[in-house]
Amino acid sequence: MRRFEDSLTRELGHRRKEISELYLLVQSTNSESAQKHLLRGLLLLIYAHWEGFIKSSSQKYLQALQKKNIPCNQLQPALRAFYLYSQYKTQQGNEWDKFSFAINSNEAVIFDKDISSEISTKSNLNTEVFKNIVSRIGVDDLDIDMKKGIIDDGLLHKRNSIAHGEMMHIELPDIVLYKDQIVHLLDCYLDLLIDAYDNQKYLNCTPIVD
């Protein structure tokens, strides 16, 4: 258990540190022109760590579960469906045979293959894509719809504009808002995955006692 938790905690610590250090640099500069460029860079960095940690931590969660070799019929419904669907996609034959395999193999299939590559942010991690990811791995969506204005209409919109070469001006108060909200969400997601792993919420039965 500790290895999984330590890996996620260490990764998020590095990401938080990078955001914090660039933010301090923004605050310390006396040049208005330099601050303008740094703010644009910081916004891109905040988005990169938002997308990067959600994808990476979700993949690590699946990889940690894979190592447990859990029978699929013991997995909670969403995770079981995700795993069987991933196996369905790799089967040879016509669609009916593949579908029949996925449905009828539930009792025999073991969660022993790495399906972490099935986690995709589509290089555009908006609230809808986030919900799609958490629905597949069977964890809470952190009431992400309440953050649409900040993520979809704010951070992501501005990130895409800058990435497409637009000379969008970024205000410091906006950066402070995005920084605080995204770091908080990442902290919550870290706690969510660790809780799901430690308390065996990936199971659809009574927790296994080691």
- 66-96 confidence digits (pLDDT tens): 999 999 889 999 999 899 888 777 767 787 7
CB contact burial 179-195 (16+ within 10 A = b; e otherwise): bebbbebbeebbebbbe
Q: Work out the percent of the chain whose per-residue pLDDT is above 90.
A: 80
Residues 6+ apart with CB under 8 A from 3: none
pLDDT at 105: 63
pLDDT at 207 over 70: no
Q: For residue 114, what are the CA distances in angstroms to 4, 60, 82, 110?
A: 16, 10, 12, 11
Residues 120, 28: Cα–Cα separation, whole Å: 37
Mean per-residue pLDDT for 14-39? Answer: 97
CA angle (55 as vertex; 52, 58 as ends), nearest 5 = 140
Q: Could you read off the pLDDT of 147-178 as tens digits, one per residue?
A: 999 999 999 999 999 999 999 999 999 999 99
Mean per-residue pLDDT for 104-115? Answer: 80
Residues 128, 120: Cα–Cα separation, whole Å: 12
Backbone angles phi, psi at 20, to 5 degrees: -60, -45
pLDDT at 2: 84
Q: What is the pTM of this model?
A: 0.92
pLDDT at 107: 62
pLDDT at 185 over 60: yes
Q: In the chain, count H helices and then E strands.
A: 8, 2
Domain ranges of the chain: 2-69+112-198
Residues 196, 203: Cα–Cα separation, whole Å: 9
pLDDT at 161: 96
pLDDT at 196: 97
Q: For residue 42, what are the CA distances in angstroms to 5, 27, 84, 177, 200?
A: 27, 12, 40, 12, 37
Mean per-residue pLDDT for 134-140? Answer: 97
123 Rama sector, left if φ>0, alpha if ψ -120 to 50, beta otherwise: left
Tokens matching residue 3? 């290895």
